[in-house]
Amino acid sequence: INPFTGKPYNTTFLRLYDLIRYEHTIHNKPRYVVYNREKTFSRADALTRYYRIYHPNRELLSGKRR
């Protein structure tokens, strides 16, 4: 049951970690922004993957955003 809406999820999660990640990704929505672009990512690993693929020579900033 979604603690914010009180409605049941339409998705089944095999691991508790997956449920927690889902709640943080979908409901809390911290956003990671690519500067000078209209591109955002809801997870830091997706942003890291984007930089690794499309900007391989750029140094990534370390640290967590919460």
pLDDT at residue 41, rounded to an integer = 79
Which tokens hold the place of 50? 């984007």
Successive 10-residue mean pLDDT values, the chain, 66 residues:
70 85 73 71 82 80 50
Which pair of tokens denotes residue 5?
């809406």
pLDDT reported for residue 10? 74
pLDDT of residue 7: 72
- pLDDT of 61 reads 59
What pLDDT is attached to residue 3?
67
Query: What is the per-residue pLDDT for 1?
Result: 67
